[in-house]
Homo-oligomer: A and B are copies of this chain.
Amino acid sequence: MREAYQSDLRHIVDDLLDMAELVSTALADATRALLEGDLALAERVITADPHIDDRHLELDAKAVELLARQAPVATDLRLLVASLRMSSSLERMGDLAAHIALIARRTHPDAAVPEQFREKIARMSEVGLESLKGASEVIANRDLAQAAEVEKGDDELDELMLEVSREISSAAPGTFTAGQVIDMTLLIRFYERMGDHAVSLVRRVGFLVTGDAMDTLSEGVDVPEF
């Protein structure tokens, strides 16, 4: 019984890692669809998102059921509460990847990303993927060693977002259409939010390891002023 309970808790962590894997695939595919104008790939990301939503749903149901059945305390309780939060963050990251794919689909066959920004968008995606990988390691090993990397990735995403928006604002009038500016503004925000959620994930593990409730402050992490 006790063993079954411990394995249930392990399964919840495995489910979180599976969700992170699904989100990584969605993000990588969405960026490829966006930069290579791959409509079929964009469609695949969009149609796959509900599966991530379902995983979120299942994980939450499991966590609530364990809370009811086992009345966990201390670390186990914190694990379940943190898992509820982490699954929400991962589900949201899946939505963001799907939104990137939606923009790729809507703008096809035109490129949503002007030539001069392709490199920065590719980098934002890369940092997002590194942050997801780092967060997954933190979740898997409850080792905060990678946490600083994830925070640094978030800072880089903030900076890249600012750079792109400054370049757009300071470009000669008529350089970009209003539609291009709208899409780029949304795209850089979607990528930047990935970093916020990755930070939120590692802070929840911090909460788990240290019992420090301050992790909830990570909800406040957000787009810098630009």
Contacts from A to B (Cβ < 8 Å): 49-50, 53, 56-57, 60-61, 64, 67-68, 71, 73-74, 77-78, 81, 84-85, 88, 91-92, 95, 99, 102-103, 105-106, 165, 168-169, 171, 173-179, 181-182, 185-186, 189, 213-214, 216-217, 219-220, 222-223, 225-226
Contact = CB atoms under 8 A, between A and B. Distances in A.
18 contacts: A53-B220, A57-B213, A64-B213, A67-B67, A68-B74, A84-B84, A84-B85, A85-B88, A88-B88, A91-B216, A95-B219, A99-B223, A168-B178, A168-B182, A169-B179, A173-B174, A176-B178, A181-B182
A52 B102 CA distance: 33
A68 B74 CA distance: 7
Contacts of A169: 177-179, 182
A194 to B, nearest CB: 14
A103 to B, nearest CB: 8
Interface class of chain A by DSSP: helix
B64 A81 contact: yes
B67 A81 contact: yes
A77 B84 contact: no
Nearest to A223: B99
